[in-house]
Structure 1
């Protein structure tokens, strides 16, 4: 599973297909048909492009950061008030099986939740929920990126000598393979926590109970894993929770405004058409009377 980024991607794809089938009882590949049918829907493609652009910006952020002159490292400030709490927590709970499970959820399930949410909302053709998903995920990244650039915080294990980075016990090549998409000092706020929670909030707006239950359990394990694996500070987690609430709330408001705008446009168009037809009819009637 962890042989390469390719095998990780394949695992995530298989998990996504499996979950979509189980949770929606529909063929997940119908997404391609819906995409084809909606190829002339400019609004949908604008939203796809928006999300793609934001994800690209997040990817470029790691490259920009490599040439960025940081004004400081704020990890030690957090360490001063969190003290030995995370070290004691990890030492108390350490177990190789727990490490296996949490690594799986941190690397595989986290991305699977994003892809599964995307496909489920899309094939259900719940446009408002789908657009809210795009806005919410995008806002998480957009809000987090400035913090990563101007307020760098290193992962706990890198700073705290008594906290161990546990992922390499399961995924030995993590640093050479996965690190390219996960910056060492991109900790505050925690996107694993914020995006997971955002997806959980979104799932509770759907009518899919099994999906809600799966999301609830998965998000709980992911949030636990960010601390247990020696990656995030409790401060990162708290900031991630706040970011999730902010992004979800803003996304909801944007989605409502967009929906209202679309409804207003839909109401206005028939009225304008009616007025136009009435004008044409009156003109024809006048011409007949004149003749």
Structure 2
């Protein structure tokens, strides 16, 4: 199996899950109402989505370069983490069973991707765009702060430090998954756990949509808890990484509440900016024709 095969599997599963969720959680009526306002929504949120896209692009480009800087100058904290929690992850794995391994492997890959993608679409269909924009801001903060921590700190996961006590269960039960995870992670990218931080971020923001999407809130909580547990059960992250990820989620959500009004106050609405650009482009085109 190649990386493309794995991506197709994950992509197809995500599309199926998201489609079912849109029908069951968002509802056909809400999706139909989007037909009359989708242009205005796209204009309103496009600057935020664009910045998030740039952050993700920078993250992908800086990952290997940042890892080299981290190995040369970063603080090595693996020993400190082990001093704090010892063999806690080994204890978590003492409850190992084929059923749990299968479940947490699915959650770590498929459940995690679904958990991040669905609210991106569901929040975009809300009448007001403020919660969608907060979601995008919180995602961006998670990735930005997470990358900074990965450069500042060198930390190896429990399966790397304690190979005799902790198993890399994801890779022993589903070796092909390493084709995917190796594209987005290195062995030292464990503190904090971005899986945990982004999953908890989604759960925290799902609370703000309880009235519109009452079924999504408990689903998001269950998946977020499962994602956090999966990172330890599979031997990928320390408990300390998960705690740090939860704190990062709290910080990102809180900061998004504060930053959105700041952005709205200091920057003109996107529709105004686009109108100005269109006017200037029209003037320039008119001068060229004359």
The Cα of 1:37 is off from its aligned counterpart by 2.1
1:101-180 aligned at under 5 Å gives the runs: 101-161=103-163, 162-180=165-183
Q: 1:279: which partner in 2?
A: none
Cα distance per residue 1:54-96 (max 9 Å; x no partner): 11122123232354343353212211332222212212x1011
Larger of the two Rg values belongs to structure: 1
Q: What is the SS of the residue equivalent to 2:187?
A: coil
Unmatched runs of 5 consecutive residues or more in structure 1: 265-291
Query: In the aligned structure 2, how far is the partner of 1:159 from the partner of 1:35?
Result: 53
1:118-267 equivalences in 2 (<5 Å) = 118-161=120-163, 162-206=165-209, 207=211, 208-259=213-264
1:263 is displaced (CA, Å) by 11
Q: Give a deviation string over 1:85-114, Cα, whole Å, max 9, x none.
A: 2212212x1011101111111111111111
Q: What are the Cα deviations for residues 237-286 of structure 1, in whole angstroms up to 9, with x where unaligned?
A: 1111111111100001112334566899xxxxxxxxxxxxxxxxxxxxxx
Structure 1 residues 28 and 228, CA gap change in structure 2 (3 angstroms): farther
Q: In the alignment, which residue of structure 1 is the partner of 2:47? A: 46
Q: Tell which deviates more after alignment, 168-177 or 202-211.
A: 168-177
Q: How big is the alpha-carbon RMSD for the aligned residues of Structure 1 and Structure 2?
A: 2.9
Shift in Å at residue 142 of structure 1? Answer: 0.9
Q: Determine which structure has greater relative contact order: mean sequence separation of CA pairs < 8 Å that are 6+ residues apart, divided by chain length.
A: 2
Question: What residue number does 2:96 align with?
Answer: 94
| 3-state SS in 2 of match to 1:209 | coil
Mark the CA change 1:252 to 1:34 in structure 2 (over 3 Å): closer, same or farther: farther
State how far apart, in whole Å, the 1-side matches of 2:29 and 2:111 are: 20
Q: 2:167, 2:132 → 1: CA distance? A: 39
Describe the SS at the equivalent of 2:235: coil
Q: Does 1:13 align with 2:18?
A: no
- Which moved further from structure 2: 11-20 or 140-149? 11-20
Provide the secondary structure at the position in 2 that maps to 1:199.
helix
Contact persistence 2:112–2:199 (CA under 8 A):
yes
* Cα contact 2:31–2:125 (8 A) shared by 1: no
Q: Give secondary structure in 2 for the equivalent of 1:163.
A: coil
User: Aligned pairs, how many?
Assistant: 264
Q: Equivalents in 1 of 2:72, 2:234: separation in Å? A: 26
Contact 2:41 2:129 in 1 (8 A): no
Tell me the TM-score normalised to structure 2 length. Answer: 0.82
Hey, what's the Cα distance between the residues in 1 that align with 2:185 and 2:8?
16
| Whole-Å separation in 2 of the counterparts to 1:179 and 1:241 | 23
Are the aligned partners of 2:88 and 2:239 in contact in 1 as well (CA < 8 Å)? no
- SS of residue paired to 1:70: helix
Cα shift at 1:176: 3.1
